[in-house]
């Protein structure tokens, strides 16, 4: 089972790297959570959220999969305009579809980068 789970996770990561989330094997009731987003539910909403992330994805380098039954943690590095972000995605895979995605990373480089590019408030 772990090999099938890893294949499913790799298909998701390839879809991210290609910026084609339609190719990701998402369950219709998939959930997504990250340090910078609330809980997102349903494949349409998750696909829409990922489309918004695409401008920040410059590349993905997978370092390791840790799979056990229906669960897989994937450690990878995401190249972004804010630098290289080490990330861990914790995914639940059922019957070849991703049922949940929980992303762990340090959001400070993104928050810092966005604060530098945000327009300054007009002084009164």
At 49-84, the pLDDT tens digits run 988 878 888 888 999 999 999 999 999 998 888 788
Fold classified for 2-117? Nuclear Transport Factor 2; Chain: A, (3.10.450)
Is the pLDDT assigned to residue 92 strictly greater than 70? yes
pLDDT of residue 74: 96
Q: How confident is the model at residue 1 (pLDDT cuts 50, 70, 90)?
A: low
- Residue 110 vs residue 72, higher pLDDT: 72
Residue 105 has pLDDT above 90, yes or no: no
- Which pLDDT score is estimated for 123? 47
Quote the CA–CA distance of 93 and 84 in Å, as a whole number.
27
Domain ranges, ordered by start, for the chain: 2-117
As a whole number, mean pLDDT of residues 81-104 equals 93
DSSP-assigned beta bridge partners for residue 84: 79
SS3 sequence, 81-106? CCEEEEEEEEEEEECCEEEEEEEECC
Look at residue 124 and tell me whether its pLDDT is greater than 60.
Answer: no
């Amino acid at each position: 089972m772990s090999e099938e789970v890893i294949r499913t996770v790799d298909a998701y990561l390839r879809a991210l790297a290609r910026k084609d989330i339609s190719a990701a094997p998402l369950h219709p009731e998939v959930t997504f959570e990250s340090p910078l987003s609330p809980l997102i539910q349903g494949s349409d909403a998750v696909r829409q959220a990922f489309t918004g992330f695409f401008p920040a994805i410059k590349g993905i380098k997978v370092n390791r999969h840790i799979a056990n039954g229906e669960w897989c943690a994937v450690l990878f590095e995401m190249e972004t305009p804010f630098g290289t972000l080490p990330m861990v995605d914790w995914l639940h895979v059922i019957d070849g579809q991703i049922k949940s995605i929980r992303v762990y990373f340090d959001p400070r480089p993104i928050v810092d980068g966005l604060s530098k590019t945000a327009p300054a408030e007009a002084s009164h």
